[in-house]
Structure 1
């Protein structure tokens, strides 16, 4: 455990499920903190701000700070700032994405954008989809916070951001650039805080997002059972995670 200075944890399915903390993860995080390592929390959820995620974790008995949160919204904003300095953005999304773009001093517009950024929006409308569709066809770059097509709820699966991104891709004939997992942009921005790749590890329950992000970035990974991807499915994959555990408590120094 002491090898890693940047321990990157997926949230939903790894640290908590919905509004309920996973006890083994909570104990693992406290063990890390006691040893002097503050983990990072990485999520494709673009709807909340870093401060809101911090408050959510605090309510679950996990102490952290906003600078340890990396969302797909934060990564999208950083990507726009890094690659397209001075560009204007038209967005579909919620408070988390708007706050991230404003934090990077990116100009938001409702007309003639240089970039369209699409994040989860639970108040999506035909008008919003039409406006960004026309903007993309008019030459705006098309960026998606993530392409998770479905979100799990207590009642079953509901449309995720990827469903709306797919609709826009079908309409415009243009594929969106994705910044969320399984792409490795979020890990890249964490590395920029001053870590070597051999000092980083990505932990998650979803092979196709969490583990793939780590593999693509070239860092060690831990797959934890009990979430999205079954252990049997992971064992059949060509690219294996560095470690596999039933729970976080099985990882020892």
Structure 2
């Protein structure tokens, strides 16, 4: 690693790093236990906007992975924070689920389908043609278009599902308006996570399984990055990207020794 400064804080993606669906990946629980042992603050970052942090905590617990609600940062929370900074106390028409609507309610936003400030598109397993049509007409009427994340597809036990990016493309084609994406690969999500921990980019590490979201957003926010090959990006794809991770490892299990190696107590 070019930057040899200690790592004060750790960020990690969830799906493909800690779990696959609800199956724990080898070393996930031990990695988090090691962070706790070394008293290192951490956040689990996810572009998934369907679930609230409480829901995700329960999902991880079913996989025997114990993460406090306060250590889960979703694209829905980052989107809510962004909107609160941009237009406090505004209104939104939401195409999404509880993770997104709850985050917006908590910052004082009103849900409205009449002249809202924003149309906010998030992940949902039950996209409604009626809701999408309403979103299109509101955007045509002047509502600003925001989306939680650009992922075009996502996994499910039965196979690939269309995700936020695909539905955003449909709405964009119909309206000629492209959304502002808040989640990864927008480094805004990393910066909001840094602010949440009061952490500094030069002493924070990001672990992810996707070069095109996790690694690029970490890189652009000034973090060191670790790509694990247990998820989306395959080993034969790594060299094709015009940017590289700080380290490439097989799985989160291989990251565990680095927690002690890069601990601030070892500095000097």
Q: After TM superposition, is the score higher than 0.5?
A: yes
Separation (CA, whole Å) in 2 of partners of 1:190 and 1:129? 30
Shift, 1:47, TM fit: 0.3
Q: Runs ≥4 in structure 1, deviation > 6 angstroms?
A: none
Which of 223, 248, 253 is 1:249 aligned to?
253
SS in 2 for 1:23: coil
When normalised by structure 1's length, the TM-score is: 0.95
Deviation by residue 1:157-215 (Cα, 9 ceiling, x = unmatched): 12111111110000000010001111122211121131111121110111111111101
Q: 1:228 aligns with which of 212, 225, 232?
A: 232
C-alpha separation in 2, matches of 1:38 and 1:177 = 30
Which deviates more from structure 2 when the two are superposed, residues 20-29 or residues 39-48?
20-29
Q: Is the 8 A contact 2:119 2:135 kept in 1?
A: yes
Give the deviation of 1:16 after TM superposition.
Answer: 0.1
Tell me the equivalent position of 1:61.
64
1:88-111 per-residue CA deviation (whole Å, 9 max, x = no partner) reads: 111000010011001111111121
* Whole-angstrom distance in 2 between the partners of 1:18 and 1:64: 16
Shift of 1:2: 8.6
2:172 to 169, 172, 175: 169
- Report matched runs for 1:1-253 at 5 Å: 3-193=6-196, 194-251=198-255, 252=257, 253=261
Structure 1 pair 183–222 and aligned structure 2 pair: CA distance change class (3 A): same
What TM-score do you get using the length of structure 2 for normalisation?
A: 0.90
- 227-236 or 164-173, which moves further after superposition? 227-236
- The 8 Å contact of residues 26 and 253 in structure 2, kept in 1 or not, is answered as no
Listed one character per residue, the Cα deviations across residues 210-231 of structure 1 (whole Å, up to 9, x for unaligned) are 1111012121100001210112
CA distance in 1 between counterparts of 2:78 and 2:13 reads 15
- Flag the structure with more relative contact order, 1 or 2, with Cα contacts below 8 A and sequence separation at least 6: 2
The CA deviation string for residues 111-135 of structure 1, in whole angstroms up to 9 with x for no partner, is 1101110001222222101111111
Count of aligned positions: 253
Give the RMSD, CA atoms, in angstroms: 1.5
Does the 8 Å CA contact 2:13/2:214 hold for their aligned counterparts?
Answer: yes
Q: Which runs of 5+ in 1 are unaligned?
A: none
The SS at the match of 1:156 is coil
